[in-house]
Amino acid sequence: MARLIETKDVYKIYAEGLESEVRALDGVSVNIDEGEFVAIVGQSGSGKSTLMNILGCLDVPTRGDYLLRGTDVKELSDKRLSRIRNKEIGFIFQQYNLVKTLTVQENVELPLIYQNIRYDQRFDMVKDALEKMGIADKYKHYPSQLSGGQQQRVAIARAIATKPEIIMADEPTGALDSKTGNDILAFLKEFNQEGTTVILITHDNSIAAQANRRIRIADGKIIEDTGVKQ
Partner 1 sequence: MNILQSFKMAWRSIAGKRGRSILTILSIFIGIAAVMTIVSVMEGMKDYTRQQYSQMGSNKITVSIYSWMWDENGNSTGKDYFPDLYNYCNSISEYVLGVSPQGYVNATVSYGTKTTANAQYEYDEQTGRVKSAPPRSFYASDQYLIVNSYELAKGRNLTLLDIEDYHQVCVIGPEAANYFFERMNPIGKKLLFNGNEFEVVGLLSPKGDGTEFNQNDNVILLPYTTRRVLGGEAPTEFQVQARDSESLPIAMSLIGGFLKGLVDNRTGGYNVYSESNWQQYENQYLTMISLVLGGIAAISLVVGGIGIMNIMLVTVTERTKEIGIRRAIGAQKSSIISQFLIEAGMLCGMGGLVGIFFGTIGSLVLGNLLYHITIWPLPWVTAAALGLSIFLGLIFGSYPAWKAANLQPVEALRAE
Ligand X SMILES: Nc1ncnc2c1ncn2[C@@H]1O[C@H](COP(=O)(O)OP(=O)(O)OP(=O)(O)O)[C@@H](O)[C@H]1O
Short-list 222, 200, 219, CA closest to 211: 200
Instruction: Closer to ligand X by CB, 48 or 213: give it.
Output: 48
Instruction: Closer to ligand X by CB, 35 or 42: give it.
Output: 42
Q: Say whether residue 14 binds ligand X (CB under 6 A).
A: yes
Question: CB 22 → ligand X: shortest distance, Å?
Answer: 4
Question: CB 129 → partner 1: shortest distance, Å?
Answer: 13
Q: Which residues bind partner 1 (CB under 8 A)?
A: 53, 56, 58-59, 78-79, 82-83, 85-87, 91, 93, 97-102, 106, 110-111, 113-116, 158, 162
The stretch among 42-50, 131-139, 150-158, 184-192 that binds ligand X (CB under 6 A) is 42-50
Q: Is 154 left (phi over 0), alpha (psi -120 to 50) or beta?
A: alpha
CA atoms of 33 and 36, how far apart (whole Å): 6
Please identify which residue in 16, 29, 31, 45 interacts with ligand X, judged by CB under 6 A: 45
Spell out where the chain has E strands: 3-14, 22-33, 37-42, 63-68, 71-72, 89-93, 166-170, 197-202, 213-218, 221-225
Binding residues for ligand X, per CB under 6 A? Answer: 14, 22, 24, 42, 44-50
